[in-house]
Structure 1
Amino acid sequence: MFSLYPAFYLIYLSFMTWDGFSPEKTWAGLANYKEVFHNREIWAAFSHNFVYLGWGLFQNALGLLFALLLNSRMKGRNAYRVVLFMPYIMNGVAVAYMFNYVFNSEYGSLNTLLHGVGLDSWAISWFGSPKFVNHVLGFITLWKFMGLNMVIYLAALQSVPSEIVEAARIDGASRAQAILHVILPNITKVIELNLFLTIIGTLEIFDLPFLLTDGGPLGASETFLTMTMSTAFKFNNFGMASAMSITLIAAVIVVLGIQRFVTRRWGE
């Protein structure tokens, strides 16, 4: 009732023309899907999601690096773990408004710092620059979610038997070789899980661009999901929005299929 019915109803709506209010729905056939695939603005917005994907992959690499560092006997490692994980438990809206003050072009702390050290040419309108806005938002997602990746990787590293790592070191393997050839192959499933969560999150990003830029400037930070929501609730085209949702689901399945193929080949 709460899972399958909405899913099938979404598919049904994707073949209809409906404004969301009228009791009658008009059959549109494949017209909505044709419009999705021929609309350049939609795919331009979808291309912005790949900027988040790039930051998400970097986020995974950084999380794994910190997990490897904090899995050692470093002094104060528990405090570092708490500090790095804390951004994840913060409310998403609070994070958005906090970074709005950091990157604000007039009174933001980042531009104030740049002016203070004499780098006036670097002080730009971060949310007003089509070239940088998606990278700024991608950096915010890295700051917020890297701690989650780190904790998951840390749990996986602690499950790797220490005996096989010690045996590799006794056989002459360096620390880097032990990590590359012993530790990482033993946590392949966890790496695949983290990549799975990252890909879904980046392809369905909504809250930060909606709260901080509302798709601006001139649609430069519009994502596929923000455009889908606008199509439904601003332009009252629920049939088109449903077709866009189904298309996004298909795109996620394709990307995840490629990711699983690559990680399984690497695991083998």
Structure 2
Amino acid sequence: MSNPATATPKTKKSFGEWIKSRKGQKWIVIITFMFVPLLLLTVFTYVPFFKMVQFSFYKMKYIGPRTFVGLKNYKEVFSRSECFKSLYVSLYYMGGAVIQLALALFFATLMVFKTKGESFFKGAMFFPYLICGIAVGFIFKFFYARGFVLDSILQALGIKLEDIPYWLQDKKINNISLAATSVWRYTGQNMILFLGAMMSVDSDLYEAASLDGANKWHQFRYIILPSIKSIVVLNLILSISGSLSAFEPPYVITNGTMGTGTYFVIMNRLAHENQKVGLACAMAVVLLAIIVVCTVAQKLFFKYAFDDGTSDESKAAVRKRKKAEKAARKAMKGGQA
């Protein structure tokens, strides 16, 4: 019987032997496939981002000398009325985002309950999302133009041309008209996302609910909505955050004139038309901070609003129990008195 103490120790593999081993080959494959995506991500995302932050501290144009100004660009962002006034325009797009999600949820629910022609309907609803945003802008630029498509439809319905507002020039309605283009474009995309989440729900639940006398509204409220609430919250966060960076509709349709300039349109004008690259970079950094703050606030809000409590007791049951305990304590105090 051999003595374990005299057993030969394992020899350490050289680098060449490790490379030829199975473990070494596995790491070579992993690193090789990771290299190209990481290189592209670094070159086209991280390097431009850090350069943008660097440029925000300079007074500069695209070509020419740079002058370091420190935080002066950031002070100018907060002192310029046009910069933060443009964030007010984003409220129209936020309202449109809520409407588009409500419509997408409604249409997706119809598709779950097997309506006739649903395949055609899904394709027709999703098609606007496939169109380039610039092309959508040109479509609606002529759609809203005076005497063109929308006005012709309203005239065919008996409305006089002088009673029809100027959709892109009237400041009371032009931002609503532009927000409607985003609703038209993105409703189908959100509908498909909701529909995919709804189809993961067990269909036996619908049959059981129908046998118990539940109608379609009850099935939506108590089966569908609780099952897809994470997707609803995610889409709402993305839509509202994206509303802060709306660019294509106001830029293509109105070029940001007549009070339709969003934050991105103003930033683009400062960078490319006025050649204030440092100021535009500072605006971009401020917008990034605003989006991060809004996203975190939304997540905290929805985490509280959609909290179901623990696995043993729902949030509603917790409130009911605490209310009953409080009433019992008051009754006990009243009895002792």
Indicate the TM-score class for this superposition, using the shorter chain for normalisation: over 0.9
**Distance across 2 between alignment mates of 1:264 and 1:182:** 20
**Distance across 2 between alignment mates of 1:248 and 1:119:** 43
Matching of residue 27 in structure 1 with residue 92 in structure 2: no
Q: Choose from 119, 141, 144 the match for 1:78.
A: 119
Matching of residue 208 in structure 1 with residue 249 in structure 2: yes
Bigger Cα displacement from structure 2, 121-130 vs 49-58: 121-130
Mapping 1:176-255, distance limit 5 Å: 176-217=217-258, 220-255=259-294
Residue 166 of structure 1: how far off its partner (Å): 3.7
Matching of residue 54 in structure 1 with residue 54 in structure 2: no
Residue 181 of structure 1: how far off its partner (Å): 2.5
Residue 113 of structure 1: how far off its partner (Å): 2.8
Q: Choose from 3, 6, 14 the match for 2:56.
A: 14
Which one has more relative contact order, counting CA pairs under 8 Å at least 6 apart? 1
Q: Which amino acid aligns with 1:237?
A: K
Question: What secondary structure is seen at the aligned counterpart in 2 of 1:128?
Answer: coil
Number of equivalenced pairs: 264
Residue 196 of structure 1: how far off its partner (Å): 3.0
**Distance across 1 between alignment mates of 2:191 and 2:59:** 45
Residue 183 of structure 1: how far off its partner (Å): 1.5
Question: What secondary structure is seen at the aligned counterpart in 2 of 1:249?
Answer: helix
Query: What's the CA shift string for 1:168-192, capped at 9, x where partnerless?
Result: 4445544323322321121122112
Question: What secondary structure is seen at the aligned counterpart in 2 of 1:73?
Answer: coil
Query: What's the CA shift string for 1:45-87, capped at 9, x where partnerless?
Result: 1110111111011101100000001111211111111111111
Aligned to 1:265: 304
Residue 262 of structure 1: how far off its partner (Å): 2.6
**Distance across 2 between alignment mates of 1:254 and 1:143:** 28
**Distance across 2 between alignment mates of 1:66 and 1:59:** 10
Mapping 1:101-120, distance limit 5 Å: 101-105=142-146, 107-116=147-156, 117-120=158-161
**Distance across 1 between alignment mates of 2:281 and 2:153:** 45
Bigger Cα displacement from structure 2, 12-21 vs 177-186: 177-186
Moved over 6 A (4+): none
Question: What secondary structure is seen at the aligned counterpart in 1 of 2:165?
Answer: coil
Q: Choose from 29, 52, 66 the match for 2:107.
A: 66
Aligned to 2:79: 38
**Distance across 2 between alignment mates of 1:79 and 1:247:** 43
Matching of residue 156 in structure 1 with residue 172 in structure 2: no
Structure 2: which 5+ runs fail to align? Answer: 1-41, 308-337
Q: Choose from 46, 58, 66 the match for 1:4.
A: 46
CA RMSD of aligned residues (A): 1.7
**Distance across 2 between alignment mates of 1:112 and 1:160:** 45
Q: Is the 8 A contact 1:111 1:124 kept in 2?
A: no
Question: What secondary structure is seen at the aligned counterpart in 2 of 1:204?
Answer: coil
**Distance across 1 between alignment mates of 2:284 and 2:297:** 20
**Distance across 2 between alignment mates of 1:133 and 1:153:** 30
**Distance across 2 between alignment mates of 1:184 and 1:113:** 37
Bigger Cα displacement from structure 2, 167-176 vs 124-133: 167-176
Larger Rg: 2
**Distance across 2 between alignment mates of 1:44 and 1:19:** 25
TM-score, scaled to structure 1: 0.92
Q: Compared with structure 1, are the counterparts of its residues 201 and 115 closer, same or farther at alpha carbon in structure 2 (3 Å cutoff)? A: same
Structure 1: which 5+ runs fail to align? Answer: none
Q: Which amino acid aligns with 2:228?
A: I
**Distance across 1 between alignment mates of 2:138 and 2:220:** 39
Q: Which amino acid aligns with 2:124?
A: V
Q: Which amino acid aligns with 1:45?
A: S
Q: Which amino acid aligns with 2:66?
A: K
